[in-house]
Structure 1
Amino acid sequence: MTPVSRKVDFPGLINPDGSAWHYLDTAATAQKPQAVIDATGRALGEDYATVHRGVYTRSAQMTLGYEAARRRVAGFIGGREDELVFTRGATEAINLVAYSYPDKGRVLLSQLEHHSNIVPWQLAGWQVDVCPLTAGGRIDLDAAEAMLTPEHTIVAFAHVSNVLGSVLDARRAAELAHSVGARLLLDGCQAVPRMPVDVAALGCDFYAFSAHKLYGPTGIGALWGRAEQLDAMPPWQGGGSMIDRVTFERTTYAPPPQRFEAGTPAIVEAIGFAAACDYVEMIGLDAIERHEASLVRSLRDALRPMNDVSLFGPEDSAGIVSFALQGVHPHDLGTILDEENVAIRAGHHCAQPLMDTLGVPATARASFGLYSDQSDVDALIRGIERARRIFA
C-alpha cells in the first residue's frame, strides 16, 4: 500500500541508529512533519515578538501572523475566526465551557468519554447523566433520545472514541440535543486528524480539539463556539488581553474570542497549529480517512483469526484498533513490542469508565496516522506473535 505521505517528512519516525520506528500511538500524540518544525522554528527565531501589545514592526507582524493562524484553524473546521478561542488544549476548551456556560443544569455524557470530558463537568457542579453504548461500541443515540429532558442544557459526546474508534452520528446527536433546548459539545480530538470536519454541517454548538493530535505542537488547542453562545458566556480566567477597561472598582471585558484568552498566548504554538492545518489539507483529509481505514481493515483481518485476541469497537473504527491478548497484560505486550521497535499505547487510555463497561482493566491500542503503512501493521503482528510464544 502506498502511504498518503512519505515517512521522510517526519524526522521522529527514524531511530538514532537509522532504523525504522513503527509508531502506532498517533491517537495519543502525532509525530510532527518537518513543515511544522520549520514553522515553529522561524516563529521562535527570526520572527519572534509578543503580540497585541507592541507598536514596533515585528510585534505588529507577529500579531498579524497570530490572528492569521486563528483564521486558518477556524477555517479548517468550517468556522469563523471570531468563533475560535485558542486554549491550552481540548481539555481546557471543555473546562472553559463547563465553568463558563451560564446555565449549569444537567449534562448528558456517554460511557466512552475521555476523562477530560467527564471530570470538568463534575468539578464545575453539573448533574451528570450517562448514555450507554450499543453492542457495537457506538454511543446509543436511541437511548440518548429517551434520556434527554428539558433539564439537560448540554450534551457532550466524543466525535470519535479515543479507545474504540467509533464515529458518532453527530448530526443526529445535534438534532436530539436541540429538540430539548440543549447545546451539543463535541470532543473532536480524534476526528480532526483523520476526517473532514465542518461544524456547520454537523450542527454542533461547541467543538473542542487539540493541535498535537493534528501533527501540530503541544500546549495549544481550540474551542470553536457559535458566536451567540460565546457572547453569552462570562470570562473564565482573568488577566491581560481579555479586558476592555480595568479599574479597582469594576472591569469590563473584551468580546469573544479575546475574552477567553487571558495572558500572553501560545504565540509560537498557534503558528505551528496553522502550519499543521496546511500540511494535513495538502495531503487531503479524504485521502487520510481512506488510508487509515485500509490499515484498520488490514490489522483487524490479521488479528481476527487469533482465538486468544479480543477485539473491541466496530469493524469500521476510525484509525484506531483496541484489543487484548489473553494471558498477557497490555503493559507486558507494550514492553515486548517496544523491543521490536513498535510503539503502541497500553492502559486505560484515560477512559476508566469505558474499561469498566468493557469488563477489562486495560487494552492495547494501535492507532494510525497519515504516515503509517503496511510495514507498521506487519511489525505489530510479528511482535504480537512473539508475545504469544513467550507467554504460551
Structure 2
Amino acid sequence: MSLSTLSPAACSVVQPLLPVVGARTRVPLATGGEAVYANLDNAASAPALQTVADRVARVLPHYASVHRGAGYLSRTTTALFEQAREQVGAFVRARPDDVVVFTRSTTDALDLLSRAVPAGAEVLVADVEHHANLLPWQRSARTTVVRGGTDAEETTALLEAGLATGRYAVLAVAGASNVTGEVLPLRRLARAAHAAGARIAVDGAQLLPHRRVDVAADEIDWIALSGHKLYAPFGSGALVGRRDWLDAAEPYLAGGGATLDVSHDAVRWAQGPDRHEAGSPNVVGAVALAQACATLSALPAGALEAHETALRDRLVAGLTALDGVAVVRPHPGDAVGVVTFTVPGQEVSKVAAYLSAEHGIGVRDGRFCAHRFANSLGLVEGGLRASTGVGTGTADVDRLLAAVEQFLTSGPELEYGIVDGHWGPLHDLRPAPERFLDSTREPG
C-alpha cells in the first residue's frame, strides 16, 4: 500500500494554527541546497510563539531586580512577575487558594513536590510515565510502580485498583503520554484518588500544549508544566496546586527571597511560593510562559483539538498506508498530536538522520525519556516520534510521509554510518551545527 491510496478526507489541508518563531527557517541539506525546516519534534521542545517573542522583546528594556528594589523598573518587573503568576494559575483554572510556584521545568516542579510529600506517605505511579514523573517519586518517597495496561482505559483501571487498597497518599499520573499521545481521564482518576484518601499530582507537560485543563473542576491537587513544551522556551515552568504540603515542607532551595528573617541562630522561612523560589527568579521565563498561556487561552473553543486531531489522523493514516512501517498503538482513543512508529529492520537513529540530512525534517528517535514504557511496547531499540504543534500544517506531515516512502522504495541517496558517536551521512555537505548561524543567513 502507498500514500496514493489514502482517502480524500485523510488528505484535507490543515494550515498552522498560530505563528511561531522560525516557521520559515531554512536548513542546509547534506545532499546540497537547503529546505525550510519541518519541525515534527514539538513534544520534545516547542518553538516560541510569535506573541511570546514579541512580549519578551517588549519586557526586556524594563527588566530589573524583583521583590527587592525601590526603583520604578524594579517595581515594574515585580508587577510583571506576580502578574505572570496569576495568568498561569488562570490558564489551568486553579482554585483561589492554590499556589503557583515558578520552577525551571516540569521535572523541577515534580522534584519539588516529591520532597513535600509527608514522611512515610506512599505514592502510586504507573510505568507509562516519563522519567520526570517517575524518578523523583522513587527517590524521595515510598513508591509503587504498577505496569500500565494495553491502552489508557486499562491503565486507568489498574490505577483505580491500586488506589482502592487505601495504601496511597499520592497518585502521580501524566495527563498525556509522550510516547503514544494517549490522554488519561484525569477527573475520573482524581475522584478515585480522593475516594481512597489520596491526592493526585499531574504531569501536564504533554497535555497542556494540546488541551485545556480545569484544576478546580477536575479536582486535581497539583499540576506541573514546562514553558519549553508550551511555546515559551525561556527556561521556566510551574507547579500549581494546594499549598498545605508545600508550606509545611522544607524550602526547596535555601537562599535569599525564601526567608522572613535570618538571625545568628535561627531562620524563619516564608510561606507560599516565596518559600520555594529562593534566589533571583527567571522573570523573563515567567512572563514568556504567561504570554503563551494567554495566547492559547484566546483560541476559539475546540480549535486546538480540531487542528491537532486532523494532523494526527493524517499522520497515522499515512504511516499505516506504507508497507514497511509499524505505528505504535495507532488508535488509542483520545490522544494528542504524538505518533510513534518504527521501520522494522532499520536503525531508528539512521532513519532520523536520513530525514534530517536529506529532507530537512526533525523528528525524535530513541525511548523518549520513558524507558520502562517504551520497553513494554517493544521499543527496546527505540522508535521514531513525530509530534505536531500549533505551527504544524499538512505540508509538514506530507513531507514526512513522502520522505519515509522514499526511504522504503528507493533508499537514502547518501551512505550512512556512525559519525562522532551518532548516525549521520558519511559525506555531509552541511556546516557543523555549532557554525550554522555563522555560515548562513539569519533564520526567519
2:336 is the counterpart of 1:318: yes
CA contact (8 A) 1:104 1:153 kept: no
| 1:73 paired residue number | 88
| 1:10 paired residue number | 21
Output the CA distance in 1 between the equivalents of 2:363 and 2:100.
Answer: 32
Q: Give the one of 158, 172, 177 matched to 2:174.
A: 158
* Alpha-carbon shift at residue 316 of structure 1 (Å): 4.0
Letter in 1 for 2:15: P
Q: Give the one of 360, 372, 376 matched to 2:396.
A: 376
Output the CA distance in 2 between the equivalents of 1:98 and 1:194.
Answer: 25
| 2:370 paired residue number | 351
TM-score, normalised to structure 2, is 0.83
CA contact (8 A) 1:194 1:285 kept: no
Task: Please give the secondary structure, in 2, of the residue aligned with 1:85.
Answer: strand
Output the CA distance in 1 between the equivalents of 2:73 and 2:389.
Answer: 36
Task: Please give the secondary structure, in 2, of the residue aligned with 1:323.
Answer: strand
- Over residues 271-309 of structure 1, what are the superposed CA-to-partner deviations in whole Å (9 max), with x where a residue is unaligned? 111121222223346211110011111111112233422
CA contact (8 A) 2:21 2:53 kept: no
Output the CA distance in 1 between the equivalents of 2:372 and 2:149.
Answer: 15
| 1:213 paired residue number | 229
2:157 is the counterpart of 1:142: yes
Aligned residue runs from structure 1 range 85-96, under 5 A: 85-96=101-112
| 1:367 paired residue number | 387
| 1:56 paired residue number | 71
- Over residues 62-109 of structure 1, what are the superposed CA-to-partner deviations in whole Å (9 max), with x where a residue is unaligned? 101110011111111002485100001110100001112224422111
Output the CA distance in 1 between the equivalents of 2:48 and 2:97.
Answer: 25
Output the CA distance in 2 between the equivalents of 1:123 and 1:284.
Answer: 41
Task: Please give the secondary structure, in 2, of the residue aligned with 1:202.
Answer: coil
Letter in 2 for 1:194: H
Output the CA distance in 2 between the equivalents of 1:111 and 1:100.
Answer: 22
CA gap 1:50/1:12 in 2 versus in 1, 3 angstroms: farther
Task: Please give the secondary structure, in 1, of the residue aligned with 2:272.
Answer: coil
CA gap 1:62/1:218 in 2 versus in 1, 3 angstroms: closer
* Alpha-carbon shift at residue 202 of structure 1 (Å): 1.6
CA gap 1:343/1:355 in 2 versus in 1, 3 angstroms: same
| 1:84 paired residue number | 100
* Alpha-carbon shift at residue 231 of structure 1 (Å): 3.0
Output the CA distance in 1 between the equivalents of 2:143 and 2:179.
Answer: 21
Aligned residue runs from structure 1 range 294-309, under 5 A: 294-309=310-325
CA gap 1:187/1:352 in 2 versus in 1, 3 angstroms: same
| 1:337 paired residue number | 355
Output the CA distance in 2 between the equivalents of 1:141 and 1:217.
Answer: 32
Letter in 1 for 2:17: S
| 2:436 paired residue number | none
2:183 is the counterpart of 1:167: yes
Output the CA distance in 2 between the equivalents of 1:377 and 1:371.
Answer: 12
CA contact (8 A) 1:165 1:320 kept: yes
Identity, in percent, stands at: 35
* Alpha-carbon shift at residue 12 of structure 1 (Å): 4.7
Larger Rg computed on CA atoms: 2
What CA RMSD, in Å, does the superposition of the two structures yield over aligned residues?
2.0
CA gap 1:354/1:62 in 2 versus in 1, 3 angstroms: same
| 2:127 paired residue number | 111
| 1:189 paired residue number | 205
TM-score, normalised to structure 1, is 0.94
Task: Please give the secondary structure, in 2, of the residue aligned with 1:257.
Answer: helix
Letter in 1 for 2:391: Y
CA contact (8 A) 2:152 2:184 kept: no
* Alpha-carbon shift at residue 238 of structure 1 (Å): 1.0
Q: Give the one of 58, 80, 86 matched to 1:42.
A: 58
- Over residues 160-186 of structure 1, what are the superposed CA-to-partner deviations in whole Å (9 max), with x where a residue is unaligned? 001110001101111121122111000
Q: Structure 1 regions of 5+ residues with no counterpart?
A: none
Stretch moving more, 32-41 or 340-349: 32-41
CA contact (8 A) 2:123 2:142 kept: yes
Letter in 1 for 2:66: V
* Alpha-carbon shift at residue 47 of structure 1 (Å): 0.6
Output the CA distance in 2 between the equivalents of 1:47 and 1:189.
Answer: 30
Output the CA distance in 2 between the equivalents of 1:53 and 1:285.
Answer: 40
Stretch moving more, 313-322 or 83-92: 313-322
CA gap 1:192/1:285 in 2 versus in 1, 3 angstroms: farther
CA gap 1:274/1:6 in 2 versus in 1, 3 angstroms: closer
Task: Please give the secondary structure, in 2, of the residue aligned with 1:51.
Answer: coil
| 2:256 paired residue number | 240
Letter in 2 for 1:78: R
Output the CA distance in 1 between the equivalents of 2:312 and 2:362.
Answer: 16
Output the CA distance in 1 between the equivalents of 2:316 and 2:325.
Answer: 10
Stretch moving more, 252-261 or 344-353: 252-261
Letter in 2 for 1:71: E
- Over residues 116-164 of structure 1, what are the superposed CA-to-partner deviations in whole Å (9 max), with x where a residue is unaligned? 111111221x222223333235561221222223331111010000111
